Amino acid sequence: MSKPLGPRGMVLFTFAVGIGLYLAWLLRDVLVVIYVSALFAVVLMPLVRGMMMLHIKRWHPSRGMAVMSMILLTVGGLSLLLFVGLRPAFFDLRDFLRRLPTEGPQMFAKMQQVPVLRDLDMEALQEKIQDYAGHSATYAVQFASNWAETAGRVVAGLVLCVYFIIEGDDAYAWFLSLFPVERRLRLDQTLARASVRMGKWLLGQGTLMLILGVCSTIVFALLHIRYAYALGVIMGLFNIIPVAGALISMALVVLVAALDSWTRVVGVSVFFLVYLQVENTFLTPKIMKTHVDLAGLTILIALLIGSSLAGVVGAMVAVPTAVLVSVMLKEYAVHDEAIIESPHPVTTTTLTLGE
């Protein structure tokens, strides 16, 4: 039984906790990258295990080969979308920018015919656009700087995620070694249950992405939206970011539809509003409850909290984090430890980031 801390020990412990919290606040951006990378390593492990189970005669891919194959498939798919699906859009954008100085006044005249935009001060809007164009170099540098910083974090997160998958056994063993021996088995079994449910989150999120991608492609094709198939794929891919991803991709679709006619803008807007209601009130709670066993209200609250704390990244990891917290609370806050402990020793360690 541990000896209680004396007054001096309590003071030192309080200072140590305060310094730790202060350092965590200073390193919060780095800690978020590490946490998200480790979390996605756990979530992606079912895919890696599935690829490792493939057999070609007597050969089957190792863990590193499975990870490399997954990376190559992802990069290849995105490259195909970029160079095949979106190539016509890049040519049209170049032509549009070339014709903008001469056709800009006609575009503003058409905008003034729209009832909602009729009361806007178009002259002030044109002045703002001209001012933006005059300072475009400054804005471009700021934009490039912000995106370079974001891209650096994304690359660091991807590299860490790969390392967590490949070398997760050692990292997990070190993590367990921080706890007393008599408590490691229970923690290991608890985290194993959490990892199973967290892995199912990816399947549920993939289902939501597929539903939105298919529905968007069908609607865009029926409305004769430019680049309907490419935009449908983008809608599905961006849906990995709950709510915000669909909003970003839908803004792009509305912009493309506005190049042809306002009736198409109305059509895609109505589709998006209807689908957003169906997804948030029915699809997301139903599918996520089936896969991760969380109540619909819990999922919505987790998304709100995650997006408020860490923006887009927080929304992406909100549901698997809620699963982890739910399992830990159920094990340590609800169940009695004396009842949970198994009378028979178990020697296997089931949850690892790289199992």
What's the pLDDT tens digit per position in 190-223? 888 888 888 888 888 888 888 988 999 999 889 8
* DSSP one-letter string for 106-175: HHHHHHHTSTTTTTS-HHHHHHHHHHHHHTHHHHHHHHHHHHHHHHHHHHHHHHHHHHHHHSHHHHHHHH
**Residue 124's pLDDT is what?**
63
Cβ pair 174, 329 in contact under 8 A: no
**pLDDT per residue as tens digits for the range 118-148:** 555 556 655 665 565 555 556 556 656 666 7
Domain positions in the chain are 179-350
CA distance 300 to 284: 9
Cβ pair 168, 39 in contact under 8 A: no
**Residue 339's pLDDT is what?**
42
**Residue 218's pLDDT is what?**
92
CA distance 56 to 69: 15
**Residue 139's pLDDT is what?**
56
Give Dmax (Cα) for the chain.
Answer: 83
Two tokens at 157? 């997160």
CA distance 38 to 162: 9
- At residue 294, the 3 state secondary structure works out as coil
What parts of the chain have a pLDDT lower than 50?
1, 337-355
**Residue 343's pLDDT is what?**
42
Q: Which of 166, 170, 202 is nearest to 68 (CA)?
A: 166
Name residues whose C-beta falls within 8 Å of residue 313's C-beta, 6 or more positions apart in sequence.
32, 36
Q: Which of 223, 218, 222, 245 is nearest to 234 (CA)?
A: 245
Q: What are phi and psi of 56, to 5 degrees?
A: -120, 100
C-alpha to C-alpha distances, 161 to 37, 196, 310, 351, nearest whole angstrom? 5, 18, 19, 16
Bridge partner residues of 56 (DSSP): 59
pLDDT above 70: percentage of residues in the chain: 75
Q: How many CB atoms lie within 10 A of CB 258?
A: 16
In angstroms, how far is CA 297 from the centroid of its own chain? 20
